[in-house]
Structure formats: structure tokens, C-alpha cells
Amino acid sequence: MIRVACGDDEASCLIASLIAETVTPCPCEGGPLRICGNGPDGQHVEVRVLGGGVYEIEGPTAEYVAKIRGRRCLL
């Protein structure tokens, strides 16, 4: 799991780059707002919105997330 802090603009780009296809999260798990789906490579990705510009990302490696954060938005 990776924890990142960023503004809304960067978070929108990051989440859109990480999740190519959304899936419905299980409502039974509760907790913070979650966005779940499959990444461009088919790997399961889950982003938890913790508030205050903090996000937890599960699935991709820290290196992959850093690579996305370091490039221009492709959307």
C-alpha cells in the first residue's frame, strides 16, 4: 500500500491513469471512500480517499505511481 498527498487536480489525473476500468466495491467493507478497478495492465487497483488530500493506493508499485506522478497528464 502506498500513501500519497496531493491536490485535487493531481489526484484526478493520478486516479484516471491508475484505473482503466472501474468495478463496484463491496459495500460491506465500510471504511473510507474507495475507488476500485483494473489498471491498464489488468491488475486490481484500489484507491482510498482519506481526506485532506491524502490517498492510499493498493495494487501498483511505488515506482509505477511515482512514474505517473512525474509525467504530464495524458488525459
10-residue averages of pLDDT along the chain (75 residues) = 93 93 84 92 95 96 92 68
Cβ-in-10-Å burial (0-12, 13-18, 19+) of 52 comes to exposed
Identity (one letter) of the amino acid at 65? V
In 3D space, the residue among 37, 39, 45 whose CA is nearest the CA of residue 1 turns out to be 45
Q: Where are the domains of the chain?
A: 2-70
Q: Looking at residue 17, what is its pLDDT?
A: 93
